[in-house]
Amino acid sequence: MRYFTDISKVGALSASERASLQKVTEVYKFRANEYYLNLINWKDSSDPIRRTVIPNVRELEGWGTLDPSDEKTNYVCQGLQHKYRDTVLFLISNECESLCRYCFRKRIFNSGRNEAAIDYSSGINYIQNHREVKNVILSGGEPLLLSTKKIGKILKKLDSIPHLQSIRIGTKMPAFNPYRILKDPELLKLIRTYSDPRRRIYIITHFNHARELTEPSIEALNQLIRAGAILCNQTPILRGINDSAENLCTLMNLLTSVGNVPYYIFINRPTSGNKPFAVPIVKAFNIFSRAKAGMTGIAKRARMVMSHSSGKSEIVGISEDKIYLRYHQARALEDESKIMEYERDDEAYWIDELEECDELIGGSEGIYLSPEKLN
């Protein structure tokens, strides 16, 4: 596969575009492979595939921070984040096949500081020694950029930990380069070996737009399913990429048809350089609600969430004047399932911009007002 890391070598762009985008890549790196660049409709300057990987001059507008979810507070050793009691996030790569312009973890490509695990043993020892950890998510960067041999060693170690209930691999490889999967029977053999009927390997993919689901991509997903993996997809909602009810609905239904069930739809975190892709919370929820009207029942299982430093909150409803969130997973155990009410603000992009109303408590059975409010 041929890779481009110098925007001036992308011949489909005009000379003036290359010159102006060069300034952007001095701040936020550029990398894209030939396969993905070939999916772009170069006649359309707003093409969603183009927006995904080709820099945008508006990235230089000041906005957000490089660590919007405060991930630096989650590390227990190099590469391993332990934010929620049951689940750890294991960063095993600090590179990606291509770089998404809206990446919330772009600091790992741009800061020169490696946050990913180096020899993997400290992270694996931590998981072994913490029986409360039930789930591990292999992430990065792109886990499937590691050699198959290295992935095999990591999976073998994780497979030997009896208290682990799920092993998940978060990857955009089926969208960026399905041939990484199609041309490596050893990788599929690994999935077959470790996707045990009692503890399946989950592959959490990252398709943003239906046009990424090409024939080779669909075949790569098919091979992963045949090897015994369970597939789920998560995507942020992104301005100019998938922020219309029609696009989102098409993506969700297509994913469901090919056996890759929609899981999370994220509100993009306020990350430096991401302003051109940001969609306000209310607008995003409206798009999602309208898209749902055309989705099959299974696709409707998708949840719209925000990954905040305090936990992952689902947007459960928006009324004329209020926004309701519920912790889907909270950093503090006492906040688990808590429902929060905020003043509606159609301009807000992130939880921290919202004004909180009376605290609500409650769980999956319904909304309960706090005792103080009832009195």
* Adjacent-strand bridge partners of 169: 138, 203
Site stretch for ligand SF4 (CB under 6 A), options 19-27, 100-108, 130-138, 362-370: 100-108
* Adjacent-strand bridge partners of 304: 265
Q: Is 181 in the site for ligand SF4 (CB under 6 A)?
A: no
Query: Cα separation of 50 and 73, whole Å?
Result: 34
Instruction: Give SS3 for 94.
Output: coil
A 10 A CB-CB count for 57 gives: 12
* Adjacent-strand bridge partners of 318: 323
Residue 53 CB, shortest distance to ligand SF4, in Å, is 9
Residue 60 CB, shortest distance to ligand SF4, in Å, is 18
Q: Show contacts with ligand SF4 in window 200-229 (CB under 6 A).
A: 206
Query: Cα separation of 318 and 324, whole Å?
Result: 6
Site stretch for ligand SF4 (CB under 6 A), options 92-100, 295-303, 336-344, 345-353: 92-100
C-beta of 110 vs 370, nearer to ligand SF4: 110
C-beta of 40 vs 100, nearer to ligand SF4: 100
C-beta of 164 vs 274, nearer to ligand SF4: 274
Max CA separation in the chain (angstroms): 68
Q: Given candidates 21, 37, 80, 99, which one binds ligand SF4 under the rule CB under 6 A?
A: 99
* Joined tokens for residue 173: 């490889």
Residue 14 CB, shortest distance to ligand SF4, in Å, is 25
C-beta of 123 vs 273, nearer to ligand SF4: 273
Long-range interactions of 67-70: CB distance < 8 A, separation 24+: 67/107, 68/104, 68/269, 68/270, 68/271, 68/350, 69/104, 69/269, 69/307, 69/308, 69/309, 70/309
Gap between the terminal Cα atoms of the chain: 66
What number of helices (H) and strands (E) belong to the chain?
13, 16
β-strand pairing of 201-205 with 322-330: unpaired
Residue 140 CB, shortest distance to ligand SF4, in Å, is 6
Which residue reads 């155990």 in tokens? 333
C-beta of 55 vs 341, nearer to ligand SF4: 55
C-beta of 100 vs 323, nearer to ligand SF4: 100
Q: Given candidates 55, 68, 123, 141, which one binds ligand SF4 under the rule CB under 6 A?
A: 141
69: amino acid identity, one letter: S
Query: Cα separation of 175 and 49, whole Å?
Result: 11
Q: Is 142 in the site for ligand SF4 (CB under 6 A)?
A: yes
Count of residues touching ligand SF4 (by CB under 6 A) = 10
**Of the candidates 240, 179, 180, 168, the residue with the CA atom closest to the CA atom of residue 205:** 168
C-beta of 268 vs 310, nearer to ligand SF4: 268
Site stretch for ligand SF4 (CB under 6 A), options 70-78, 93-101, 331-339, 366-374: 93-101
C-beta of 128 vs 214, nearer to ligand SF4: 214
Phi-psi region of 33 (alpha: psi -120 to 50; beta: other; left: phi over 0): beta
Q: Show contacts with ligand SF4 in window 310-369 (CB under 6 A).
A: none
C-beta of 31 vs 328, nearer to ligand SF4: 31
The interaxial angle of helices 245-257 and 281-292, nearest 10 deg, is: 50
Phi-psi region of 70 (alpha: psi -120 to 50; beta: other; left: phi over 0): left
Q: Is 53 in the site for ligand SF4 (CB under 6 A)?
A: no
Q: Given candidates 37, 80, 92, 96, which one binds ligand SF4 under the rule CB under 6 A?
A: 96
Residue 333 CB, shortest distance to ligand SF4, in Å, is 28
Can you give the binding site for ligand SF4, defined by CB under 6 A?
96, 99-100, 103, 105, 140-142, 172, 206
